[in-house]
Structure 1
Amino acid sequence: MATEYRSFFNIGLYDPTHFDRWPYGPNEYDSALYLSAKKRKCGWGKAAEFSSIDEARAFFNDWNNSSKLKMHIVEFKKHVEVPDPIYPENHPHNLLKRIHQGEKYNVWLTAELWFRGQISNHYVSKQTLRRHRDILINYGIDIANEPEQIYEPPKIKRDEIWYTASPELKTVD
């Protein structure tokens, strides 16, 4: 499965009689007070996750104790699995997947380098290449010839924003 780097939101709670604003710094998010999916106060491990800020705000406003405590929406990012796109049966992605499941890693590596057009950079003996060719012929791949089209596997989608370079927490008011 492919993965994407997505934002999720938690509702942080604090008492306005003791604090003017959210009292926790970036290193203290795990010890803060949050709102759970059952609309109870909880720690970070049981906090309700929301896919949008508006969804989190609506959830907080439906809570009975929302007048006593104030909320602070905390954004965090994590990798989530998304379904692979559907490729035709003879597409390089499907072929590589089948080779990866049924053959040794070195055979898969040879096939991947061949699809990328980098088989000349693969430093193995001629005997090994012949053995890999015999195996890959069963998958319809002849590494003695050049590939018809260079294939680049899909990359993980990431936001182009500086703070997503490392998965740190970010606050949104």
Structure 2
Amino acid sequence: MTTAPAFPPLIEAYLADLERALAASEPRERAETLAAVREHAAESLALHGSDDAGARRVLDELGPVDAIAAASTPAPAAAAAPVAPASPTPAADVWLVVLAVASLALFVIPLVAAAVVVWALVRLRSGAGNRGLQKFALVVGAVSFVGAVALFVSHVLAG
């Protein structure tokens, strides 16, 4: 089993800064980058010596921590972003359902049902609010509208 070589304090501080800078990177790439930088630092220290002058030369070869971190791939946003809590049902959707139910009671006035259908479609297309309530209001409004039109047509045909 091999152990990691002991680095001078300047190199250790650089590696700690690099690890912090890579915190938002994809985990596998972060590990590979840190391993590659450690390997390069060990080889360069063996070549240039492990004193302060050799450590500074290694740091000059590696370049700024920010440049290495900027070249890394960020971690997926889905894994990093916390799930937002469910928002309460918007009042607009509650009123939409109330109006849809009222359109059933007022089915002789198809304008109310038509307004419910249009409003429900607009809310559904916007993507905001409670989609379940919006779909329910759309169905109820459509049924009420079709019932009102059917009643009107039967009344006209009957005479």
TM above 0.5, yes or no, is no
TM-score (norm 1): 0.22
TM-score (norm 2): 0.23
Structure number with greater CO (CA < 8 Å, separation at least 6) is 1
Larger Rg: 2
Q: Of Structure 1 and Structure 2, which has the larger fraction of its residues in strand? A: 1
